[in-house]
Amino acid sequence: MSSIESEPDLQLSSLQAKLLNPVLTADVCRRLGIFAIPADFKLTVVIPVYNEVNTVIAVIARVRQTMLPLEIIVVDDGSQDGTREKLATLVPGDDLRIILHTENRGKGAALRTGFELATGTAIVVQDADLEYDPDDFRFLIQPIIEGQADVVYGTRYGHHDRPVPPLWHVIVNRWITRLCNIRTGLYLSDVETCYKVVRREFLQELAPSLKENRFGIEIELTVKLARNRARFYERPIRYDRRGFDEGKKIGWRDGVRALYCMLRY
């Protein structure tokens, strides 16, 4: 569905906000994510893909089902499992662009490609598996639309309505997050989250300086946004963790690289 086709849904969203605000109060509506989306707002969703033949089509469909005004940029990073053939069945249009890397260069490299091509008001990353729920986009863009933030991180640990993760996963993530907080002076609860929503002008200003080709880009981006004095905000998100037998690619070496990135940047 293109951003043009979703215009009636934006009008309905604005009408709902106007009708419910006097009944529920503005504070309750805000907490429920009931707010009007400006007519000129567009969310660019960058989807880095590498060997996700079983989920990539479903993820794109889930993103479109949010009914937000979207620009979807899929960057296939040299997949060899049939993902490219699946993507070839899609018809690029007003809301979808498909970019193919000739070889696997890493998530960071795929994100840089998507960031440079983005034209939306804000940019968010969506992994090509089904760990993250795009329905959370609406809550994540709210602080940006309301002028309270330049960057919104979706935290997997800001609430308890979620599947229980393995202890080692939580310990490693919190260790990396706390070290990053010391480095940046921020107090984030989940620096390794996929869901980072950033105003396009902030991200594209940084994009030419981004160097990390793998998952180290999470730390590099956070450090450089903090250095540029971006206003940060956090909101809880849903997260359905998958295991390494299901295709999860981040490993212990990426944790070591994260520490290196804190020192380097």
Q: Is 116 contained in some domain?
A: yes
Residue 260 predicted with pLDDT over 90: no
CA nearest 141: which of 130, 133, 152, 132? Answer: 152
Domain that holds residue 138: 37-264
Q: How many domains does the chain have?
A: 1
Q: Considering only CA atoms, give the Rg of the chain.
A: 18
Q: Is 2 contained in some domain?
A: no
Residue 225 predicted with pLDDT over 60: yes
Q: Which runs of consecutive H residues, i.e. helices, occur in 135-232?
A: 137-145, 167-184, 200-206, 217-227
Q: Is 8 contained in some domain?
A: no
Bridge partner residues of 132 (DSSP): 239
Beta strands 196-199 and 151-155, pairing class: antiparallel
- For the stretch 84-136, pLDDT in tens is 999 999 988 889 999 999 999 999 999 999 999 999 999 999 999 989 999 99
Output the furthest CA–CA distance in the chain (Å, rounded).
55
The model scores a pTM over 0.85: no
- CATH (domain of 52): 3.90.550.10
CA nearest 137: which of 197, 86, 193? Answer: 197
- Rounded to whole angstroms, the Cα distance separating 173 from 157 reads 10
